[in-house]
């Protein structure tokens, strides 16, 4: 194995919800404790998931081009709406998909609630990105970038759920 495998293993460990819950207090005050893998199979499962997660979060994975949202209405593309949980409108309650309005006419559609509410680094990226662009016009590349962010967040949820299924210690 390589040093990148070690990095991806640690990346997977640090993104494990069960690990983060177990060591929550310890992570606030000290460096993380990284457990040795139980065996080679566990190590390489976590390496593969860590690698996949790293590539998705760096937007190096081809998956980020597989948009799961849409931006169906033409208009000014001006972000005028105050963005919050209240502006997330459910369109499919069974799949927990919704839309977020950026102004009175335009919205991003089919945003998973899990992506909209995902915390990373103390904030919710799906919400913060739009809030940071209030009173700005979204260009075509901005619209595509936001759709990629939603894919990244959805994939982060999916991969961390897979990581959580692996017994780390």
pLDDT per position as a tens digit, 114-141:
999 999 878 999 999 999 999 999 999 9
Question: Residue 13: its pLDDT value, please?
Answer: 96
- Each as own residue / partner, the long-range contacts of residues 131-134 (CB below 8 Å, 24 or more positions apart, any chain) are 131/83, 133/79, 134/79, 134/80, 134/82, 134/83
Question: Residue 85: its pLDDT value, please?
Answer: 65
Starting at the earlier edge strand, list the strands of the sheet with 88-92: 88-92, 97-101, 107-112
The residues of the chain scoring below 70 in pLDDT are 84-87
Question: Residue 86: its pLDDT value, please?
Answer: 66
Question: Residue 108: its pLDDT value, please?
Answer: 95
């Amino acid at each position: 194995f390589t040093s990148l495998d070690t990095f991806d293993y640690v990346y997977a460990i640090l993104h494990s919800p069960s690990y983060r819950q177990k060591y929550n207090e310890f992570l606030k005050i000290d460096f993380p404790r990284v457990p040795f893998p139980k065996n080679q199979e566990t190590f390489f499962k976590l390496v593969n998931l860590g690698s996949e997660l790293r590539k998705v979060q760096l937007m190096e994975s081809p998956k980020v081009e597989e948009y799961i949202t849409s931006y169906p209405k033409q208009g000014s593309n001006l972000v005028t709406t105050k963005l919050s949980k209240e502006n997330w409108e459910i369109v499919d309650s069974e799949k927990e998909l919704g839309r977020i309005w950026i102004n009175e006419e335009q919205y991003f559609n089919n945003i998973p609630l899990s992506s909209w509410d995902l915390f990373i680094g103390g904030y919710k990226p799906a919400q913060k990105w739009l809030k940071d662009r209030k009173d700005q016009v979204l260009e075509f590349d901005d619209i595509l970038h936001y759709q990629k962010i939603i894919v990244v967040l959805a994939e982060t949820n999916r991969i961390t759920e897979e990581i959580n299924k692996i017994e780390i210690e």
